[in-house]
Amino acid sequence: MSGGTLRARGGAFLAPLIAVAFLFAATAVHAQKPIVVGASISETGPLAVDAAYHLKGIQLGVADANAHGGWLGRKLALKYYDDQSNPGTAVRLYTRLITEDKVDLLVGPYSSGISQAVAPLVNKYERPTPMPGASLPAIFSASNKWAFQLLPPATGYLDGILPLMKSQGAHKVAILQAQLSFTLACGQARLDQAKALGMDVVYSTTYAMPPPDFSSIALAIKSANPDGVVVCSYYPDAVGLAQALHRIGYAPKFFAETIGPAEDQFISALGPITNRIISNTSWWPALKTHDNAGFIARYKAMFHEDPDYHVAATYSAMEVLGAAVKATKSLDPAKLRDWIATHDVPTVEGTFKAGPTGLSIGFAQYMFQIQNGKRLLVWPVKDEQAKAQVPYTGQ
Amino acid sequence: MIVLQLVVNGVLLGGTYILLAQGLNLVFGVMGIVNLAHGSIITFVGVFTYWVVTQTNLNPLLLLPLVFVVALVVGGVLQRLLLEPLAKLGNRRELLSLMVTFGLSYVIVEMAINLFGSQYVSLPNLQETWTVAGLAVNEALVVAGVLGAVISGCLHVWLHYTASGKALLATSQNATGAVTCGIDVRRMRGISFAIGSALAAIAGVLLILILPLSAPTADTLTILAFVIVALGGLGDYKGAVFAGLLLGLVQSGVGYYLGGDVEVIVPYLLLIGFMVLRPQGLGQAAR
């Protein structure tokens, strides 16, 4: 009986010890368990060129965080899947990341169209999600509470080109838009701007993606004979249209395209016909933004190439998440959301500042021009590295 | 002048389409199967060409003999290993061959992605534009169009004026009859798939000079090639020439007058129209 009492006493004595030991063990395991950041990336499909930079920005953000001991004493790990440039696939993948993989934090996918599909999901599951691929303002409507825009709105892409044209006496413009969310928003904004500036839109069309053969559209542009051609494009259509204009021997005085010209392979794919093409960016190496020089150096060391604004946007998304986690000392979604919604964060892209619906109101837009194989900032004037060279010669 | 330029653009685009479709057409004509890996071979060779040219600065046209021979051999081996065993399965052969080539297409695309990446690539070679009598003519499109015509001409000569070609043509028209005439039908199937693969490889080298390509765009090319083959009258190589030219010309005009959105659905509208009104395709009209 005494033995039994002893056993009982021993059990009573050991139980808290065992519980404490388990607690310590669990805490130790927890301390070592990485904070998992989840995302879907368009590794294949028509958005793959630009989305590759999107991924690299997240990877650099994770590597930098880990180099400084991680967040909350835990290392970071990245979990991502290929969404094939398909919004439906992306929705399935984010559902999987949230419900099956149970990742701690999310970063939005590449492109406005895919972000638009994913945004309702992060609202449904109440996960604070920076969206570095979402320039479309409509994503950040009144009902949005959990998605935050990490790019300037699409309506501001190439918003300097028409004033630049007008300042040089050019009034006739052709405006083209790919049939995707971002490009349609960008194109409509340029059409509205042309009207507001009293400029003459002599040709306007939309086209499907993957891009068609552009030879007929190029000929239609030539027939309309605009002073400038403004294209709201991604990479493959930016290449295709530049090729098509060259093939019919037509060079408008001003030629501007979104996104494609920002990528290094744009120049290598097209050669000298890229000279004097104008494009836009939300980030630039020469800007005095937070840790910009360090960001560029670390990116070059990691990927052996120059970063572009897609990289800066996703890296900034990681900076915003990191600032929120450190400030709140928490991974609690509601705490993170409240902090992100109410705080300005200095990033490599500029100062992140969220409007009431998550729309970005802190970042600026710039325009650069390819001049003899180099990209130089030409707008706004206060930041210009060179004057815009006109006319575009197509060679 | 605009109309003339549209015609020139349409013919050059049609030449590209002919190039795209003839390999698929030959395989369908002789073997009676739709090679769903056709577009994968084109994009694989296209991104391979990009990789070689960017690494070596080689003129991409110099790769044509190499990729032709390699694709010929690889196509012959694949046919013998993967498709020939299905020939004994009677009615199930067509469905099973679709599945095999469907699987093969994904293997080739994944190989291309792993070897060369999944991004869109294009080359700046052959981008001279000449003005002839006021009409702009691009070097790459001319080379592709001329090669498309030459390949179709060679196919015609081979099929009608050589013993092996006549044997292949006979096999495509009536395999049972060909056997009774002593034609080695099994060999003919191997030859047709090998040549079909080699023609797809040629198309890959030339298309990378015309369009931005990425490995995952293979399905789009297979579908477009199939539409041309179907418009021409399945397996009718002369019909495919007319179909390629018709499609190029119609797309050229529609793109100019109605824009890019309508231009991309032209092949499918034509396909529906032909299937309803003239299911035998253009080839029958051409005869």
pLDDT of residue B237: 79
Closest CB from B6, B122, B263 relative to A239: B122
Q: What is the structure's pLDDT at A107?
A: 98
Q: Can you give the pLDDT at residue A20?
A: 52
Q: What are residue B18's phi and psi, to 5 degrees?
A: -60, -45
The Cα of B169 is separated from the nearest Cα of chain A by a number of Å equal to 34
User: B241 in the Ramachandran plot: left (φ > 0), alpha (ψ -120 to 50) or beta?
Assistant: alpha
CB contact under 8 A, A207 and B264: yes
User: Would you state the pLDDT for residue B284?
Assistant: 62
Average pLDDT, chain A: 90
Task: Let me know: does A257 contact A279? Beta carbons within 8 Å.
Answer: yes
One-letter identity of residue B267: P
Q: How far is B111 from chain A (nearest CA, A)?
A: 13
Q: Which residues of A touch B40 (CB under 8 A)?
A: none
Q: Could you tell me which chain B residue has the CA closest to the CA of A246?
A: B129
Helix (H) or strand (E) holding A100: none
d(CA A148, CA A290): 20
Task: Find the closest chain B residue to A49 by CA distance.
Answer: B119
Mutation target vs B (from A215, A221, A274; most B CBs, 10 A cutoff) = A215
- From its phi and psi, is residue A276 left (phi > 0), alpha (psi between -120 and 50) or beta? left
> Which range, of A234-243, A276-285, B136-145, averages the lowest pLDDT?
B136-145
Give me the half-sphere count of Cα atoms (radius 13 Å) on the Cβ side of residue B215: 24
Residue B89 C-alpha, separation from nearest chain A C-alpha, in angstroms: 36
Q: Go through A13-40 and write b for each residue having 16 or more CB atoms within 10 A of its CB, e for each that does not.
A: eeeeeeeeeeeeeeeeeeeeebbbbbbb
Partner-chain residue, chosen from A176, A205, A247, that has the shortest CB–CB distance to B129: A247
B261 closest CB neighbour out of A206, A214, A220: A206
What local confidence, expressed as pLDDT, does residue A19 receive?
Answer: 56
Nearest CA in chain A to B139: A247
The reply to whether residue B118 touches residue A43, judged by beta carbons under 8 angstroms, is yes
pLDDT per residue as tens digits for the range A174-183: 999 999 888 9
**pLDDT tens across A319-350, in order?**
999 999 999 999 999 999 999 999 999 999 99
CB–CB contact B129 A219 (8 Å) = no
> What proportion of chain A, given as a percentage, has pLDDT over 90?
76
Chains A, B: CB contacts within 8 A come to: 128
pLDDT value, residue A1:
35
CB contact (8 A) between residue A265 and residue B121: yes
Contact status, residue A82 vs residue A120, Cβ threshold 8 Å: no
- Which tops the pLDDT comparison, B49 or B131? B49
> Of A348, A235, A239, A369, which is closest to residue A295 (Cα–Cα)?
A348
Inspect the interface and report whether the beta carbons of B261 and A271 lie closer than 8 Å.
no
The answer to whether the CB atoms of B124 and A268 lie below 8 A apart is: yes
- DSSP per position, A246-298: HHTT---SEEEESSGGGSHHHHHHHGGGGTT-EEEES--TTS--TTHHHHHHH
Q: Where are the beta strands (DSSP E) in chain A?
A: 35-41, 76-82, 105-106, 129-131, 147-149, 172-178, 200-207, 228-232, 254-257, 278-281, 345-347, 350-352, 366-371, 374-379
In angstroms, the Cα distances linking A142 to A7, A87, A357, B28 are: 64, 22, 6, 55
Which residues on chain B are in Cβ contact (under 8 Å) with A240?
211-212
Which pTM value belongs to this model? 0.80
Q: How far apart are CA A154 and CA A359, in angstroms?
A: 11
* B253/A249 touch (CB, cutoff 8 Å), yes or no: no
**Between chains, do A215 and B9 touch, taking CB under 8 Å as contact?**
yes
Which of B105, B119, B222 best tests the A interface by mutation, with the highest count of A CBs <10 A? B119
Q: Do A217 and B260 make contact, defined as CB atoms within 8 angstroms? A: yes
Q: Which two tokens stand for residue A142?
A: 């009144």
Per the structure block, which two tokens stand in for B34? 């739709």
Predicted confidence at residue B286, as pLDDT, reads 47
Q: pLDDT digits over B6-27, tens only? A: 999 899 889 889 988 989 988 8
Tell me the H-state helices in B57-162. Answer: 63-78, 92-116, 139-161
Please judge whether A206 and B260 are an interchain contact, meaning their C-beta atoms are less than 8 angstroms apart.
yes
Residue A29 has pLDDT above 80, yes or no: no
Q: Say yes or no for a CB contact (<8 Å) between A48 and B261.
A: no
Using a CB–CB cut-off of 8 Å, the residues of B that contact A are: 2, 5-6, 9, 12-13, 54, 113, 118-124, 127, 129, 131, 136, 138, 140-141, 211-212, 214-217, 220, 251-257, 259-261, 263-264
Question: What's the pLDDT score for residue B125?
Answer: 85
| B38 confidence band (pLDDT: 50, 70, 90) | very high
Residue B198 pLDDT > 50? yes
A44 and B138: CB-CB below 8 Å?
no
- How far CA A83 is from CA of A43, A330, B272, B280, in Å, comes to 7, 29, 31, 40
Q: What average pLDDT does the structure give for chain B?
A: 89
Nearest CA in chain A to B118: A44
Of A44, A49, A216, the CB nearest to B6: A216
Residue B260 to residue A45, Cβ atoms within 8 A: no
Question: ipTM more than 0.90?
Answer: no
Separation in Å, CA of B120 to nearest CA in chain A: 6
Q: What residues of chain B lie within 8 A of the CB of A176, using their CB?
A: 260
**Which residues in chain A are closer than 8 Å to B9, comparing Cβ atoms?**
215-216, 219, 248
Does the beta-carbon distance from A45 to B216 stay under 8 Å? yes
Q: What is the pLDDT of residue B222?
A: 93
B60 to each of B49, B143, B253, how far by Cα in Å? Answer: 7, 12, 31
Which among B13, B217, B264 has CB closest to A208?
B264
pLDDT tens for each residue of B133-180: 888 888 888 988 888 788 888 888 988 899 988 998 888 888 888 889
pLDDT value at residue A21: 53
* pLDDT, tens only, A100-158: 999 999 999 998 889 999 999 999 999 999 999 998 899 998 899 999 999 999 999 99
Q: How confident is the model at residue A354 (pLDDT cuts 50, 70, 90)?
A: very high
Q: What is the pLDDT of residue A343?
A: 97
Q: Which residues of A260-286 are buried (b: 16+ CB within 10 A; e: fewer)?
A: bbbbebbbbbbeebbbbbbbbbbbbbe
How does pLDDT run across A76-99, given as a tens digit for each residue?
A: 999 999 998 899 999 999 999 999
* Cα dist from A91 to A51, A236, A330, B10, B32, whole Å: 16, 24, 26, 40, 39
Residue of A nearest to B255 (CA): A216
Q: Is the pLDDT of residue B187 over 60?
A: yes
Query: Which DSSP state fits A126?
Result: T
Task: Say whether pLDDT at A11 is over 70.
Answer: no
Name the residue facing B136 among A208, A236, A248 (closest C-beta): A248
